[in-house]
Amino acid sequence: MNVLRPLAAIAFLLGSVIYLVAEAISAAAWKSPTYSYAYNWISDLGSASTGVFQGRELDSPLHAVMNTGFIAQGILFGIATVLLSRTITGRLRAFTAVMGVVIAFGYGLVGTFHGSLQAQQNGTLPLHFTGATIAILGANILALLLGLYWRKATDTRLIGIVSIITGAVGLAAAILLVATFSAHVPSGLIERTSVYTIVLWEVAVAVGLLRSRTRTNTPARVATAPV
């Protein structure tokens, strides 16, 4: 079990770093218009076509970078979560592994099918939104449930609380995004809240996994404390 923890931690960290770097590079490439982190959606960065979509003007020269970031994040998140599931006992073990695969699939849809006027016209837009829904809701729900699990053990109480907070905030932001879909609000910022909680959770869990290797655990504690 011990070797699984650093591997899961590395996958979580790589996924989060690749995602954030891809987003920053893609956003910086926008010239006219400039990219707004507050009002532009993250998926705008992955649009392979230009033009106005849902009231936002899209022109992402490095859309391939963002889409690669989406797919890489999904693959690494899936790997990390499946590895993490091996440190969990009970029914939550299988649920965690399955959710990791499902969430990876969601990221794959986001990176393959883009959010744009062209996607709306050719009928692939629902695939993009389906992938985003799976990835965002799935990852935040997983964080929340694992947080409730980890909170029960003394050694993992802190990461449990962090997981509960990030999962709950991410879900709340996702609900707010849907509720204000047609309103003139900084929807990009709201969307980012629901996504960045996932990135924050990945980093927090990775740190917890790496720290756990520096502690001496008894077999009983390993069985109940995954981090």
Q: Give the predicted TM-score (pTM) of the model.
A: 0.90
Burial 188-200 (b: 16+ CB within 10 A, else e): bbbbbbbbbbbbb
Identify whether the C-beta of residue 143 lies closer than 8 Å to the C-beta of residue 96.
no
DSSP bridge pairs for 57:
52
Q: In angstroms, how far is CA 29 from the centroid of its own chain? A: 23
Identify whether the C-beta of residue 107 lies closer than 8 Å to the C-beta of residue 74.
yes
What are the pLDDT tens digits along the chain (227 aa)? 578 899 999 999 999 999 999 999 999 999 989 999 999 999 999 999 998 998 899 999 999 999 999 999 999 999 999 999 998 988 899 999 999 999 999 999 999 999 888 898 899 999 999 999 999 999 999 999 999 999 999 989 999 999 999 999 999 999 999 999 878 889 999 999 999 999 999 999 999 999 876 553 433 343 344 45
Helix (H) or strand (E) holding 136: helix 125-150
